[in-house]
Amino acid sequence: MEETYERACYIERLGLFGCIQCGKCTAGCPLNYLTPFNIRKMVYDVLNSSGEDIASEKHEIWQCTTCSTCSSRCPKQIEPRDVIINLRSILVEDGNIPPQIRDVLKSITINYNPWRLGKEQRAEWCKGLELKDASEADLLYYVGCTPAFDPRLQKVAQAVVKALRKAKVDFGTLGVEEVCCGSEIRRLGDIWSFDALREANTEIFNGYDNIKQIVTTSPHCYNTFKNEYPGLKPEVMHYTQFVSSLIDRGQLVLAKDYRKKVTYHDPCFLGKQNKIYEEPRNILRSVPGIEFVEFDRNRESSLCCEGGGGRMWIEIEDVKERLANIRVRDARDMGVDIIAVACPFCLLTLEDAVKSNDLEGKVQVMDIMEIVAKTLT
């Protein structure tokens, strides 16, 4: 076997010699519920044969949602997820990637968003809201690409604004100057574009002395700012953390009754990856009249919605089932009115599943902030 220096480096860096092949990763992998995708075997193969070969042979590496269940459960604390990202970046470097992904990566460099929409449209969602500019506020609301461009998610961003205003939070946004956080791009293996975005964002954020805190809509942006942006000055929070503390401090009062039976779907990037389990539940429990119930599979055992790791832009073939389908059918069986989510991707994937399972009018998918907005006077 030819040992390239680069390969030896990443095998050491990822600690793959530490793997005891116990399979805890594979059995916890949400993809493995649907496809033969076997992350344990992938680690074994990477360790025992040349990494480049594996990357081009194994087309299933595009299936990974980077939910990180594997990494969080690994008893030897190696990160199988990073093996996937590493293999993807080998393919990206060679230009050996599916066309949809090429389009996404291209859009990032041109539009600073993955949605192939012009950057000048980034502030359409808040037209007429007369939001402050980031330079005039204590707190930056970082909207994120999906809530800024997707018509369904724009409603969530608007709900966030409504709540922040109600709580008299001094916040501003970057408007059309906002740039993608790079989370998905990095996970698609384009670590080079990610580095550029990170530099750009760090410069923007650190450039505002007035900004002490950043609140994000998406757990994906939150996660990357929090864990992959060394040297970022402002404190980063997901909105569930911030809003939960507003409620606890009495600064935001959820006044109106909302008599619904609600469950909550933990986003992987908030829950499994950042252990934020209680704040979203605290918000929901603070809603007057709500009946809150848990999925059997919640918190550390939550199912992934399959929206992460670039999967919003990759169709995987030969799969009859979707995890989101399982999720909405479980919700139906529990008799809930609403599945509350706290992540743009979860919202889109679960809403799709509601449609494809003919559950429209029976089970509704709402972001926590949309529920909050409905209870404000």
Partner 1 sequence: MAAKKIGVYICHCGVNIAATVDIEELKRFAATLPRVKSVQNYMYVCSDPGQELIRKDIKEKGLNRIVVAACSPRMHEPTFRNVLKSAGLNPYCLEITNIREQCSWVHHDRHTATEKAKGLLAASVAKAALLEPLEEHEVGVTPTAMVIGGGIAGIQAALDIADTGFKVYLVEKEASIGGHMMQLDKTFPTLDCSACILTPKMADVKNHPNIELLAYSEVIEVKGFVGNFKVTVKKKPRYVIESICNACGQCSPYCPIEIDDAFNERLAKTKALYIPFPQAIPATYVIDPQSCRYLRDKSCRQCEQVCKELQAINLDQKEELVELDIGTIIVATGFDIFDPRQKPELGYGKYENVITGLEFERLVSASGPNQGDIKINGKKPKDVVFVQCVGSRDQTVGNEYCSRVCCMYTAKHAHLVREKLPDAHITIFYIDIRAFGKGFEQFYDRVRGERVYYRRGNVSEIYKKGDKLMVRAEDTLMGKAVEVAADLVVLAVGMEPSKSAKELGKILKLSNSPDKFFLEAHPKLRPVDTGSDGVFLAGCCQGPKDIPDTVAQASAAAAKAVIPLAHGTVKTEAMVSVVQAEACRGCGFCVEACPYAAITLEEKKVRGKKKIVATVNEVLCKSCGACAASCLSGAIQQKSFTDEQILSMIAVIGKKY
Chain contacts with partner 1 (rule: CB under 8 A):
20-29, 32-33, 36, 38, 40-41, 69, 72-77, 296-297, 299-301
Q: Is-contact 293 336, C-beta < 8 A?
A: yes
Indicate if the alpha-carbon torsion angle 191, 202, 148, 157 is positive or negative. positive
Q: Is-contact 15 51, C-beta < 8 A?
A: no
Classify residue 170 as exposed, middle or buried by CB count within 10 Å of its CB (0-12, 13-18, 19+).
Answer: exposed
Q: Is-contact 283 368, C-beta < 8 A?
A: yes
Which is closer to partner 1, CB of 232 or CB of 293?
293
Beta carbon of residue 43, minimum distance to partner 1 (angstroms, whole number): 11
Distance set, CA 336 to CA 58, 102, 260, 276, 361 (Å): 40, 40, 8, 23, 12
Instruction: Measure the CA dihedral 272/277/280/285, to 10°.
Output: 150
Beta strands across the sheet bearing 235-238: 132-133, 171-173, 139-142, 213-216, 235-238
In angstroms, the CA 146 to CA 131 distance is 19
Which is closer to partner 1, CB of 251 or CB of 301?
301
Instruction: Measure the CA dihedral 153/154/156/160, to 10°.
Output: 150
Beta carbon of residue 71, minimum distance to partner 1 (angstroms, whole number): 10
Which is closer to partner 1, CB of 177 or CB of 278?
278
Beta carbon of residue 42, minimum distance to partner 1 (angstroms, whole number): 11
Which is closer to partner 1, CB of 300 or CB of 337?
300
End-to-end CA distance of the chain: give it in Å, rounded: 68
Which is closer to partner 1, CB of 40 or CB of 166?
40
Instruction: Measure the CA dihedral 217/221/227/233, to 10°.
Output: -70
Q: Which amino acid is at 236?
A: V
Which is closer to partner 1, CB of 217 or CB of 273?
273
Which is closer to partner 1, CB of 232 or CB of 316?
316
**In sequence order, what DSSP letters do the residues of 85-139 get, joined into one string?**
HHHHHHHHHHT---HHHHHHHHHHHHHSSTT---GGGTTGGGTTT-PEEGGG-SE
Which is closer to partner 1, CB of 225 or CB of 269?
269
Beta carbon of residue 33, minimum distance to partner 1 (angstroms, whole number): 8
In angstroms, the CA 160 to CA 256 distance is 17
Beta carbon of residue 105, minimum distance to partner 1 (angstroms, whole number): 32
Beta carbon of residue 22, minimum distance to partner 1 (angstroms, whole number): 4
Beta carbon of residue 334, minimum distance to partner 1 (angstroms, whole number): 12
Beta carbon of residue 7, minimum distance to partner 1 (angstroms, whole number): 23
Beta carbon of residue 49, minimum distance to partner 1 (angstroms, whole number): 16
Q: Hey, what are 129's tokens?
A: 């809201």
Which is closer to partner 1, CB of 33 or CB of 292?
33
In angstroms, the CA 240 to CA 171 distance is 16
